[in-house]
A and B are shown apart, each in its own frame.
Chain A
Amino acid sequence: MMNNRYLRVFLKIFSAIISIGAFLLIWHIATNGTKLGELMPGPIELISSLIKSTYTNIGKYTIIGHILFSLSRVLIAFTVGGVIGILLGTAMGWYKTAEAIFRPFYEMIRPIPPIAWISLAILWFGLGEIMKYFVIFLAAFSIITYNAFAGAQAVDPVLIGAAKMLGAKDSRIFRSIVFPSAVPYIFAGLHTAISASWATVVAAEMVRASEGAGWLIIQGMEMNNMIQILIGIIAIGIVGLLLSIIMRGVEAKLCAWSKSGK
């Protein structure tokens, strides 16, 4: 049985190597000997440039520096948007007064894509960091609020009754019943929101920045440097994947009690 399991894992890794290898090989042949080479760098050239970019600057920073710039923009705005979204969403889901006051505004803002705010944000906040934070904040906030709201509304009324019978008052019910039962919903929102924030930072940096993953791409286009564009795209993909893996790890810890934590 043990052997069987090792064999399966080995086959999985082996087939992954084969399929990626075949892709790289076709790419290599296609770009080295056909006209496609003028539009697209080959895989060897790209990978060696990617490695080289980790220790030589593109613009002012190495690729790692650019990623860290983008990442810090995302994390700051995402955290603020997350905290406000979770509080507002669960409050709207549980307290009728909060829903009556905030929901109409929220519903007006929610369908607007965050990128649509960029022009206004530039006029309000200038071209600096605040403009980027604002747009990313909107992206994260509107998704997280909605999920937290849905989670708080979906709380099992029998559990509320049980808590009341055990003597819990309103604020304790909110903290220890409504909030935890919304946590799996909130995590679904955080997953979507981190991707949306990551997409939004790239857009914001494309409009105006002098560093970051979005800047790499836009700068690459202006300089007609395809390798730089592709390095930017790959970096965005890798970081997005890492963020979602980290998020899943946190979720597994916090939701150990539910099916989604398994």
Chain B
Amino acid sequence: MNKDVVIKCDSVSKIFYSSDKGFDVVKNIDLTVFKNEFLVLFGPGQCGKTTLLNIIAGLDMPTSGKVYVNNKEVIGPGPERGVVYQSISLFPWLTTMGNVEFGIKAAGVGKKERRKRAQYYIDLVGLQGFENTYPIKLSGGMKQRVGIARAYCIEPVVMLMDEPFGALDAQTRYLMQKELEIIWGREKRTVVFVTNNIEEALFLADRIVVLNNCPTSIRQEYVIDMPRPREYTGEKFLYLRKEITGNMDKTL
């Protein structure tokens, strides 16, 4: 694997203050993500995973520590980092095409070029024929495909995915995991993927970072070098599943 560093978190901490009391949410995260690596942040509960991801995105500022993407300090939101949300968060008044081309439209790409590029990513996620459909008419899985295409279309350096399949039913979830692996295989990006689902983590990850709950800190790292596509019931898969689950923070 190419070992170029793309994301670097340098002792990142986040404290939320409520009235007089400070509440540690993220504590001393040192994290390096390499080029085209699929990194999964895996941990229980609802504590700080999303906050950590938002800090990398620039939507939230760390209380102390710094985040660098391609050696540039993150000081706010920006299109070199694409985000896919759990709540999907499509713009409901825009069609599939309108959502996917939103970012490059804001960047001033002309209409013809814009349509061509958006169409490429719409095809990539398998939504041809739904270009002019509003999100309200799409199923949960299809909406999240639009979300992925929208993030891809600005051609970001890193893709940040915050439990993107958390709101889907179990069947659709398996399907989307396979879909995402195929998409990622065809359009390699550096991905940081947050989940609390161990199967999802093992199916997708090059490396799993297991997080402690409240405050979020790094517990252990596992490099997953199983060949792709992986079998949910493969011997090594099940072994790692047991190993990692056994090593999880059980405090809630």
Contact = CB atoms under 8 A, between A and B. Distances in A.
**Dominant SS among interface residues on chain A:** helix
Contacts of A259: 136
B23 to A, nearest CB: 21
A165 B106 contact: no
Nearest to B60: A161
B89 to A, nearest CB: 5
A169 B106 contact: yes
B60 to A, nearest CB: 9
Given A158-B87, A258-B136, A166 B103 contact: yes
Query: Which of the four size classes fits the interface of chain A?
Result: 20 to 34
Nearest to B153: A166
A176 B83 CA distance: 19
A176 B105 CA distance: 11
A159 B91 contact: yes
A166 B93 contact: no
B106 A177 contact: no
Nearest to B95: A257
Interface string A145-179: 00000000000101101111111110010001100
A158 B106 contact: no
A180 interface: yes
Contacts of A176: 91, 102
Contacts of B135: 257
Interface of B: 57-59, 76-79, 81-83, 85, 87, 89, 91-94, 102-103, 106-107, 134-136, 150, 154
A212 B3 CA distance: 80
A167 B107 contact: yes
Most buried by A among B57, B77, B78, B83: B77
A161 B77 contact: yes
B93 A257 contact: yes
Given A164-B76, A257-B136, A259-B136, 6 more contacts: A159-B91, A165-B59, A166-B150, A167-B103, A181-B93, A257-B93
In the A-B complex, the 7 residue pairs with the closest CB atoms: A167-B79, A166-B103, A164-B77, A257-B134, A180-B93, A168-B106, A257-B93
Nearest to A177: B91
A165 B152 CA distance: 12
A256 interface: yes
Contacts of A177: 91
Contacts of B81: 165
A168 B83 contact: no
A74 interface: no
- Max count, chain B CB within 10 A of own CB: residue among A161, A163, A165, A168: A165
Given A158-B87, A257-B136, A259-B136, A165 B93 contact: no
Contacts of A164: 59, 76-77
Contacts of A172: 106
Contacts of B102: 163, 166, 168, 176
A190 interface: no
Contacts of B134: 256-257
Contact of A165 (B83, B94, B136): B83
6 contacts: A156-B89, A162-B91, A177-B91, A257-B94, A257-B135, A257-B136
A183 interface: yes
